[in-house]
Structure 1
Amino acid sequence: MSDRKARLLDDVRTYHREQEEGGPFVPGVTEIWPSGAVLDEEDRAALVEAAVDLRIAAGHSSRRFESLFARKMKRRKAHLTNSGSSANLLAVTALTSHQLGEQRLRPGDEVITVAAGFPTTVNPLLQNGLVPVFVDVDLATCNTTADRVAAAIGPRTRAIVIAHALGNPFPVTEIAELAAQHDLFLVEDNCDAVGSTYDGKLTGTFGDLTTVSFYPAHHLTMGEGGCVLTGDLALARIVESLRDWGRDCWCEPGESNKCLKRFSYQMGTLPAGYDHKYIFSHVGYNLKATDVQAALGLSQLRKLDDFCTARRRNWRRLRDGLDGVPWLLLPRATERSDPSWFGFVLTVDPQAPFSRAALVDFLEGRRIGTRRLFAGNLTRQPAYVGRPHRVVGELTNSDIITEQTFWVGVYPGLTDEMLDYIVSSIREFVAAHG
């Protein structure tokens, strides 16, 4: 690094410290966000360095992040994408590839998922002509169960695609066993749960494919961004092709003839020797991230363990502080799991003398940010009216979540003072209305 660049980056760090000097927390005045990125001077310096070096496309930083993140998540391959939603699209679309032969998913095949969740877990199913099969969840964990999934398996079932809700693992050992018994693909949407474990193993290591988001609300951020991970090299190659315009070549942009056979291929009805850099084996996209994003990701990755520790600590402080409050169903970790929590979910008892809306309005009035459990029951959302799907069992709890559930934050940017204010505010409201 040149002396001039080193001085520039030192100035950037100084600038960051000056900008971050904030005042004390003022209850009812200072905004308490439910989620957000935690960015330090090294993150700012990493972004500036990438910009100064004009690393504007995917390159060295992207490849290094993929390698380190795959190792951290205990998967063989990771492929960066421009969002977690794109990661879900790639993971599901990969399962439709002709390169999987008879195993591939085809239009009309059914895929089991949950009704209460985020749309982009389900949207790729519809985008690929697949039929979502919706099952209900438990209220305390916000996750489905192996029994519910088993009951939904039918003659056209080919895959299971489920998210770990708010960082809380679904019973993934049992559901992975079901998938193996019935020869089904399993995709883990791990966007909310990086660092969570089930049976002592990281979530995201059970499925055929795993997806992660690096949106600012999540455990790590690149601003935007996502990732597809897998232990299956054939699936990894398909994901890479689909992400990179659908091309058959595996050279990075700017590379040529890595295979030493660039002008020796014959595929389809193309003439022999057609340039392999321009042979396309999939109907793909351009869903890559950039080195600027990856530079931030590399800086963030060094802090992941601390972020996960803070999320667990903050969740526990809320859980202990709200223990025993009437009319509220408090969250519970799935048995045999250790969640790296995304949020702290609360469900107002339908028989309570107050409504969810009244409690949320009270908290928002005190500058305490709240969020719904995403889309609630997806089958009730306008986007899914008339879309092909099947429902197995009653969606009773998904409806309760739609009507009665919300969550508050546990992200590492929250202080003990903020968390205690959330607790005291909820206790004050319930005492006044109970």
Structure 2
Amino acid sequence: MSDQKASVLDEVRKFHQNTRQHQPFVPGATEIWPSGATLDEQDHVALVEAALDVRIAAGSSARRFESQFARKMNRRKAHLTNSGSSANLLAVAALTSHLLEDARLRPGDEVITVAAGFPTTVNPILQNGLIPVFVDVELGTYNTTLERVAQALGPRTRAILLAHALGNPYEVREIAEFAADHDLFLIEDNCDAVGSTYEGRLTGTFGDLSTVSFYPAHHLTMGEGGCVLTADLRLARIVESMRDWGRDCWCEPGESDRCLKRFQYQMGTLPDGYDHKYIFSHVGYNLKATDLQAALGLTQLAKLDEFCTVRRRNWRLLREGLDGLPYLWLPEPTPGSEPSWFGFVLTVDPEAPFTRAELVDFLESRKIGTRRLFAGNLTRHPAYINQPHRVVGELVNSDIITDQTFWVGVYPSISEEMVDYMISSIRGFVARS
């Protein structure tokens, strides 16, 4: 490192220390966000160093992050993307590849998913000409069950795509076994659940593919960013091709001839020896991340275990502090799981003497941020009403979630003092109602 660069980075450290000093928590004045990035001096320095090196495209940091994250998540391959939404799009699109031959998904095939979730779990199904089959979820865990998934199985069902709700794993081992027994693909949307385990095994390791988001609200952040992970090298190759314009070549940026036969391929109806760097085997995208993002991701990754510990602590304190409170249905971890929680979800009893809106307005007035459980029942949104889909069973709980449910934060920047304030605020509101 040059003396000049070292001097700049030293100034960055000083800048961080001078501008990010700990501010005391002032109840009712300090914002308690439901989610957000937890950034320290190392994160600040990593971003500036990458900028000084003008690493503005995917490069060495991106490759290093992919390797380290795949190892951390017990997968053979990880491919960075520009968002978690893009990761879901790539995961579904990969299953339509001609390289999967007869196993590939085709337009009109069905994919089982839940109605109560986030749009980008469902959108890739529709964007690839597939049919979402919506099932309901359980209140308490806010996940669906093997029984509901099994009831949704039809003659054109080819895949299952489910998110672990707010970090709480669904019955993923059982559903993975069901998928295998019926020759279905399983995609785990693990965007809210990095670090969660089910029966002692990390979520994101049960499916054929899993996805992660690095948006600031999530367990790790790159600002924007996402990832597709798999243990299947054939699927990894397809994901990489579709992420990188659909090209057939697997050379890294700046490489020219990793396969040692760059001008010896003949594919499609192209002339023999056409440059492999410009042969395209998929109708793909450009969904790559940058080294600026990956540099931040590397420093964040080193803190993942600590982040998960604080999330679990905050959730536990909220659960204990609100236990026994009337009119509020409290969340429950799925049996056999250890969630790395994304948020603390609350459902207002429909018979309560107050509404969700009244409780949310009260909390927001006290600077306690809230969020809905994403879209609630997606089938009720204008974007999906006229889209092809199938519903299995009544979406009773999804409707309750739409009308009665919200969540508050547990992310690592929330202190125990803030949690105590959240508990006392909620208890005080209920007592006065």
Same fold (TM over 0.5): yes
1:260 aligns with 2:260: yes
Cα distance in 2, alignment partners of residues 87 and 21 from structure 1: 35
Letter of the 1:289 counterpart: A
Letter of the 1:359 counterpart: L
Spell out the pairing of 1:137-286 with structure 2 (5 A cutoff): 137-286=137-286
Cα distance in 2, alignment partners of residues 137 and 426 from structure 1: 26
CA apart distance, 1:423? 0.4
1:3: which partner in 2? 3
Cα distance in 2, alignment partners of residues 415 and 309 from structure 1: 13
CA apart distance, 1:11? 1.3
Letter of the 2:247 counterpart: R
Q: After superposition, what is the alpha-carbon deviation per residue over 1:28-57, rounded to whole angstroms, capped at 9, x for unaligned?
A: 111000000000000000000000001010
Spell out the pairing of 1:28-177 with structure 2 (5 A cutoff): 28-177=28-177
TM-score normalised per structure 1: 0.99
Letter of the 1:249 counterpart: C
Q: Which moved more, 1:327-336 or 1:2-11?
A: 2-11
Cα distance in 2, alignment partners of residues 432 and 95 from structure 1: 54
Q: After superposition, what is the alpha-carbon deviation per residue over 1:263-296, rounded to whole angstroms, capped at 9, x for unaligned?
A: 0000000011100000000000000000000000
Cα distance in 2, alignment partners of residues 275 and 34 from structure 1: 50
Cα distance in 2, alignment partners of residues 77 and 182 from structure 1: 25
1:417 aligns with 2:432: no
CA apart distance, 1:73? 0.1
Q: After superposition, what is the alpha-carbon deviation per residue over 1:394-421, rounded to whole angstroms, capped at 9, x for unaligned?
A: 1000000000000000000001111111
Cα distance in 2, alignment partners of residues 56 and 360 from structure 1: 42
Cα distance in 1, alignment partners of residues 253 and 303 from structure 2: 30
Cα distance in 2, alignment partners of residues 324 and 385 from structure 1: 39
Cα distance in 2, alignment partners of residues 83 and 210 from structure 1: 14
Give 5+ residue unaligned stretches, structure 1. none
Cα distance in 2, alignment partners of residues 106 and 20 from structure 1: 52
Cα distance in 2, alignment partners of residues 42 and 21 from structure 1: 15
CA apart distance, 1:22? 4.1
CA apart distance, 1:4? 2.0
Letter of the 2:146 counterpart: A
CA apart distance, 1:252? 1.3
CA RMSD of aligned residues (A): 0.5
2:376: which partner in 1? 376
Give 5+ residue unaligned stretches, structure 2. none
Cα distance in 2, alignment partners of residues 197 and 124 from structure 1: 26
Q: After superposition, what is the alpha-carbon deviation per residue over 1:196-217, rounded to whole angstroms, capped at 9, x for unaligned?
A: 0001000000000000000000
Cα distance in 2, alignment partners of residues 241 and 163 from structure 1: 25
Cα distance in 2, alignment partners of residues 22 and 312 from structure 1: 22
Cα distance in 1, alignment partners of residues 22 and 46 from structure 2: 22
2:23: which partner in 1? 23
SS of residue paired to 1:407:
strand
1:367 aligns with 2:367: yes
TM-score normalised per structure 2: 1.00
Letter of the 1:186 counterpart: L
Letter of the 1:184 counterpart: L
CA apart distance, 1:350? 0.7
CA apart distance, 1:7? 2.0
Q: After superposition, what is the alpha-carbon deviation per residue over 1:135-183, rounded to whole angstroms, capped at 9, x for unaligned?
A: 0000100000000001101110000000000000010010001001100
Cα distance in 1, alignment partners of residues 338 and 10 from structure 2: 39
CA apart distance, 1:373? 0.3
SS of residue paired to 1:382:
coil
Cα distance in 1, alignment partners of residues 216 and 359 from structure 2: 26
Cα distance in 1, alignment partners of residues 42 and 22 from structure 2: 18
SS of residue paired to 2:132:
strand
Cα distance in 2, alignment partners of residues 22 and 414 from structure 1: 12
Cα distance in 2, alignment partners of residues 352 and 145 from structure 1: 28
1:14: which partner in 2? 14
Cα distance in 2, alignment partners of residues 323 and 3 from structure 1: 57
1:288: which partner in 2? 288
Q: After superposition, what is the alpha-carbon deviation per residue over 1:198-245, rounded to whole angstroms, capped at 9, x for unaligned?
A: 010000000000000000000000000000000000000000000000
SS of residue paired to 1:384:
coil
Q: After superposition, what is the alpha-carbon deviation per residue over 1:68-105, rounded to whole angstroms, capped at 9, x for unaligned?
A: 00000000000000000000000000000011000000
Cα distance in 1, alignment partners of residues 288 and 23 from structure 2: 39
Q: After superposition, what is the alpha-carbon deviation per residue over 1:281-324, rounded to whole angstroms, capped at 9, x for unaligned?
A: 00000000000000000010000000000000000010010001
SS of residue paired to 2:383:
helix
Cα distance in 2, alignment partners of residues 299 and 5 from structure 1: 19
1:314 aligns with 2:314: yes
Cα distance in 1, alignment partners of residues 370 and 143 from structure 2: 20
**Number of aligned pairs?**
433
